[in-house]
């Protein structure tokens, strides 16, 4: 099985060059000109197009059991939709219920993911704490290729991690060479504000946004970063949606902390007015956490990406249809949180990032693929069009146009938060493990073709963190 992509321009995070790319047995075998290839090699002419590393979406929730229901895109339909949009790998979340054994949960998710059409990996959430959790974290890192642990600082009475859990788990992560990640919202404050909204008779989706103001997020980001600072552990903050969150990250980074920040394409492109929509269903379809914000926050987030204080773009892809959202008809607290996006992230970011000069093409590759690969330690196998890397590639037609719509998307959900958005710059072909899985509008995803990607523990910056910890350990005062 061999494939030659000819006449295109290779765009990596660090370089742009004219070259042909030859793939064989799932890997990139050669890059250059006038390559010698076997006779039966499939050829794609990419003249006028860009050859980029396939997108990595580091934040998805396929078939997540959540808030009394299950997200509608499963690992097959969700990864297939990703492939249609140039995303060739997802990092999803194993979320054990409090008290549930971590390895049991991991195995359950692994079984669900066997039908994935593209590559996948797992962050594992720490939702409770005891010695067995600590031991299972080690097993996950050592034997199962998990190098990141997620903490929900919101969702009180469900999966919320309090400070005790954060501190135990962050410390353990440092010992294991794994990176802690946080969903940063103050869950106690959200709980309190939700009750206040209900008491005021605000039962609709606008109550969702009103109970999660930016300060709720800023406080939690600050708390997580300060805990990480004291424990000297690197940290990754998922879905930063507001200036308050970004400001904390920027401050901590300027003080030398190893902090990484993620932003969702939807937070960059959809604003808070959606919750004022008079149509309940439309407003409810946008309920996700953190909620959409005002344009002032969106501007700040774009600048965060530009300045390098935010590193990755994701979707938090978590689909619920109208009938599922309807569970919260009389109480916004019961509307399942989540929106779709895995299919549209790259084209929307290209259109509103590259085409508007907010991102260079190389920066686009960084924030859609390379940075995630580096932060989660799978680079250069992923996130790079280079010899020896996995042949996960998107061939990008910068002139092609389409209009995003739930009527035509591949995501298994009846709503698209980017409905009606016209994009210029979309994939002409997506290649996964050296095979063409999407070509000129035709999806050829293969159920079960995706592979689990092991992510080894980090060596270098964890060693650096440990050295710092050693050299700054307090000592007792010597007394006579």
Quick check: 288 binds ligand DUC (CB under 6 A)?
Answer: yes
* Interacting partner of 33 out of ligand DUC, Zn ion, none (Cβ under 5 to 8 A depending on kind): Zn ion
Residue 212 CB, shortest distance to ligand DUC, in Å, is 10
Residue among 322, 289, 476 at smallest CA distance from 414: 322
Quick check: 190 binds ligand DUC (CB under 6 A)?
Answer: no
Residues between 272 and 331 that touch Zn ion (CB under 5 A): 316
Please identify, using beta-carbon distances, which residue of 66 and 350 lies nearer to Zn ion: 66
Q: How far, in Å, CA of 386 to CA of 250, rounded? A: 32
Residue 446 CB, shortest distance to Zn ion, in Å, is 27
| Count of residues engaged in binding ligand DUC, rule: CB under 6 A | 8
* Interacting partner of 288 out of ligand DUC, Zn ion, none (Cβ under 5 to 8 A depending on kind): ligand DUC
Please identify, using beta-carbon distances, which residue of 77 and 465 lies nearer to Zn ion: 77
Please identify, using beta-carbon distances, which residue of 54 and 291 lies nearer to ligand DUC: 291
Q: How far, in Å, CA of 54 to CA of 47, rounded? A: 18
Return the residue of 29, 151, 172, 183 that touches ligand DUC, per CB under 6 A. 183
Quick check: 92 binds Zn ion (CB under 5 A)?
Answer: no
Q: Binding pattern to ligand DUC, positions 34-73, x when CB under 6 A?
A: ---------------------------x------------
Following CA atoms 124, 64, 287, 315 in sequence, which dihedral angle do they give, to the nearest 10 degrees?
60
Rg (CA), the chain: 22
Q: Binding pattern to Zn ion, positions 7-46, x when CB under 5 A?
A: -------------x------------x-------------
Please identify, using beta-carbon distances, which residue of 103 and 318 lies nearer to ligand DUC: 318
Return the residue of 316, 347, 363, 392 that touches ligand DUC, per CB under 6 A. 316
The burial of 286, by beta-carbon neighbours within 10 Å (0-12 exposed, 13-18 middle, 19 or more buried), is given as buried
Please identify, using beta-carbon distances, which residue of 232 and 293 lies nearer to Zn ion: 293
Please identify, using beta-carbon distances, which residue of 232 and 317 lies nearer to Zn ion: 317
Return the residue of 118, 338, 380, 450 that touches ligand DUC, per CB under 6 A. 338
Return the residue of 29, 115, 123, 183 that touches Zn ion, per CB under 5 A. 183
Return the residue of 46, 160, 209, 318 that touches ligand DUC, per CB under 6 A. 318
268 is written with which tokens?
């960059």
What is the arrangement of strands in the sheet containing 20-24, beginning at the earlier edge strand? Answer: 27-32, 20-24, 2-6, 42-45
Residue 452 CB, shortest distance to ligand DUC, in Å, is 22
Please identify, using beta-carbon distances, which residue of 20 and 185 lies nearer to ligand DUC: 185
Please identify, using beta-carbon distances, which residue of 34 and 278 lies nearer to Zn ion: 34
3-state secondary structure 298-326: HHHHHHHHHHCCCCEEECCECCCCHHHHH
Interacting residues toward Zn ion by CB under 5 A: 20, 33, 183, 316
Interacting residues toward ligand DUC by CB under 6 A: 61, 183, 288-289, 316, 318, 337-338
């Amino acid at each position: 099985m061999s494939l030659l992509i000819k006449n295109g321009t290779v765009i990596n995070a660090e370089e742009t060059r004219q070259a042909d790319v030859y793939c064989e047995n799932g890997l990139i075998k050669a890059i250059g000109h006038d390559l010698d290839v076997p006779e039966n090699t499939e050829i794609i002419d990419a003249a006028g197009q860009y050859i980029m590393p396939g997108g990595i979406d580091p934040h998805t929730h396929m078939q997540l059991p959540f808030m009394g229901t299950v997200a509608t895109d499963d690992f097959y339909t969700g990864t297939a939709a990703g492939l249609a949009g140039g995303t060739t790998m997802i990092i999803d979340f194993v979320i054990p219920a409090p008290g549930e054994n971590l390895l049991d949960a991991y195995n359950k998710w692994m079984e669900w993911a066997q039908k994935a059409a593209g590559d996948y990996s797992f962050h594992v959430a720490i939702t409770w704490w005891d010695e067995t959790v600590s031991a299972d974290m080690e097993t996950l890192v050592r034997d199962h290729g998990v190098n990141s642990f997620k903490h929900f600082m919101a969702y009180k009475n469900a999966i919320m991690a309090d400070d005790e859990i954060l501190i135990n788990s962050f410390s353990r992560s440092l010992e294991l060479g794994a990176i802690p990640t946080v969903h940063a919202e103050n869950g106690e404050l959200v709980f309190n504000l939700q009750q206040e909204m209900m008491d005021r008779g605000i039962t609709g989706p606008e109550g969702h946004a009103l109970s999660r103001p930016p300060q709720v997020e800023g406080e939690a980001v600050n708390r997580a970063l300060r805990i990480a600072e004291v424990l000297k552990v690197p940290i990754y903050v998922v879905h930063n949606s507001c200036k308050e969150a970004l400001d904390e990250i920027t401050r901590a980074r300027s003080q030398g902390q190893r902090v990484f920040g993620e932003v969702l394409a939807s937070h960059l492109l959809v604003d808070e007015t959606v919750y004022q929509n008079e149509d309940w269903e439309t407003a409810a379809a946008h309920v996700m956490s953190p909620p959409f914000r005002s344009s002032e926050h969106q501007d700040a987030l774009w600048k965060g990406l530009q300045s390098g204080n935010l590193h990755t773009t994701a979707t938090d892809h978590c689909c619920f249809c109208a009938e599922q959202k309807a569970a919260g008809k009389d109480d916004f607290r019961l509307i399942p949180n989540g929106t779709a996006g895995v299919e549209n992230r790259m084209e929307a970011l290209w259109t509103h990032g590259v085409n508007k000069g907010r991102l260079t093409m190389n920066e686009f590759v960084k924030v859609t693929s390379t940075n995630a690969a580096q932060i989660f330690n799978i680079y250069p196998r992923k996130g790079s069009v280079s010899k020896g890397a996995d042949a996960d590639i998107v061939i990008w037609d910068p002139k092609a146009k389409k209009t995003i719509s739930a009527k035509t998307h591949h995501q298994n959900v009846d709503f698209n938060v980017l409905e009606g958005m016209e994009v210029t710059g979309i994939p002409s072909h997506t290649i996964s493990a050296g095979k063409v899985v999407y070509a000129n509008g035709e999806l050829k995803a293969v159920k079960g073709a995706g592979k689990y990607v092991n992510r080894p523990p980090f060596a270098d910056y964890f060693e650096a963190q440990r050295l710092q910890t050693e050299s700054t350990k307090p000592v007792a005062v010597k007394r006579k």
